[in-house]
A = this chain, B = another copy of it.
Amino acid sequence: MRTVTEHRDAVLALAAPLTSREVPLGEALGLVLAADLVSRLDLPGFDNSAMDGYAVRAADLAGADEDHPVSLPVAGDIAAGDTAEHALEPGSTWRIMTGAPLPRGADAVVPVELSDGGDARAAMRLAPEVGRHVRRRGEDVGLGDIVLTAGQVLTPGRLALAAAANVPVVHCIPRPRVAVVSTGDELVRVGEHPAYGQIVDSNSAMLAALVEAAGAEVASVTHVPDDADRLRDWLRELPGEPDLVLTTGGVSMGAYDTVKEVLREEGGVEFVRVAMRPGMPQGCGAVGDPPIPIITLPGNPVSSFVSFHVFVWPVLRRLAGAPVVAALEDSPEVIETVAAQGWESAADKVELTRVMLGPEGAHPSRGQGSHMLGALGQADALAIVPAEITRVEAGTRVRCLPLLGHA
């Protein structure tokens, strides 16, 4: 039986970051930069005013204060967006707006609040030091400066910086696309009436939501009955040009395990038992030409949900160019809290207990059976209970992986 870390290593070995491409800023939120981003401009692009007020030579206002205003003639107005290159004659001023270019010769700005606001002459009650309320060309970013580096995630602030640096299209790693196939004769679509012995296919909706919550895209979602030919056809087609294939169901010890049967025949996929609960039966490999990574998830919705967090999420991160570690408990998403109550855990297996996080710590949600979906609606995180622990004692530290989509 494999450890969780060994199987994470195995699935991660199947995936490499996708080929980078040029993406417009408007579509790049959340993507990973594939190359350093270089500013095409100085920021600011020209000396400009940080305030609405008057552009002056500081020397002309020596000695000005509340009781001794100094009055200067106003040469005119300079608005933000004024593209003329104005000059400031000694002994005069220009009225200037925030962001407007400083006239040549000016070296300070007096805020309008410290003046009488005049438009022919203005009386100013401040003797500013040189550079006061002036934003100097290039003081924030210089033309040619590297402002973002390869590997950074494009957050809203970084997209703003890319825009300000006049870069409309960024070189980054695209969102991975995932094809999902749920298998099993027993499944009916959500909203259809299940006959005796049938169940509603919740895995399709769940996996599509998990893919989306992980920042990836759903390439296709298909249901295939337990029919080897139909599954083979689907594998040949792989609808939606996926970068990753997920199957659910058909991988346990039963006589009708179509996924196992077909993929064993085709080769390139290994089926293993992983020392975890839930989610012991796992499989991974590659299908198609060129080969695409495939992960075979158990059919139990709860096992499938847990397996997605443990094995599929890191693969999606690697495909997207984000950093990953093999050891689940060392993932950057993992938080540490205390067990608010005690609970039993499987011997010799990593137990992934569905827990609710509260001010007192982690409580297991009721109903931990792998077929029990009710508890999944209340859980916030998976507590990662190591294989050697058979009972989590109240008050002890426990590491938890917050569930996807739980901000």
Contacts and interface: CB of A to CB of B under 8 A. Distances in A.
B135 A99 contact: no
A197 B155 contact: no
Contact of A202 (B81, B160, B209, B213): B160
Contacts of A79: 185-186, 226, 254-256
A55 interface: no
B166 A81 contact: no
B374 A147 contact: yes
Interface string A167-197: 1110000000000000011110111001111
Contacts of A44: 199, 371
Interface residues of A, number: 102
A252 interface: yes
Given A197-B101, A374-B141, A403-B157, A208 B164 contact: no
A50 to B, nearest CB: 7
Q: Which 4 residue pairs are nearest across A and B when measured between Cβ atoms?
A: A81-B186, A81-B185, A160-B206, A168-B191
Given A29-B405, A98-B252, A256-B97, A161 B373 contact: yes
Nearest to A249: B80
B161 A377 contact: yes
A235 interface: no
Contact of A210 (B141, B156, B379): B156
Nearest to A192: B166
Interface string A91-128: 00001011111000000000011000000000000000
A403 B160 CA distance: 13
Contacts of A205: 25-26, 159-160, 162-163
A204 B159 CA distance: 10
A190 B161 contact: no
Contacts of A190: 25, 163, 166-168
Contacts of A158: 376-377
Interface stretch (A12-20, A65-73, A82-90, A384-392): A82-90
Nearest to A141: B374
B29 A197 contact: no
A45 interface: yes
Interface string A137-164: 0001100010110001101111111111
B196 A95 contact: no
A358 to B, nearest CB: 13
Given A163-B205, A194-B45, A156 B254 contact: no
B209 A160 contact: yes
A77 B255 CA distance: 9
A29 B209 contact: yes
Instruction: Name which of A141, A212, A373 has the most chain B CB atoms within 10 A of its CB.
Output: A373
A351 interface: no
Given A159-B209, A163-B205, A167-B190, A254 B52 contact: yes
B155 A200 contact: no
Given A202-B160, A205-B26, A226-B79, A112 B196 contact: no
A284 to B, nearest CB: 20
A197 B45 CA distance: 8
A199 B160 contact: no
Contacts of A379: 157
Instruction: Name which of A99, A201, A300 has the most chain B CB atoms within 10 A of its CB.
Output: A99
Instruction: Name which of A100, A186, A213, A404 has the most chain B CB atoms within 10 A of its CB.
Output: A186
Given A99-B299, A101-B196, A112-B253, 16 more contacts: A29-B209, A45-B194, A46-B197, A52-B253, A79-B186, A81-B187, A83-B195, A84-B197, A97-B252, A99-B186, A140-B369, A157-B305, A157-B376, A161-B202, A163-B204, A169-B191
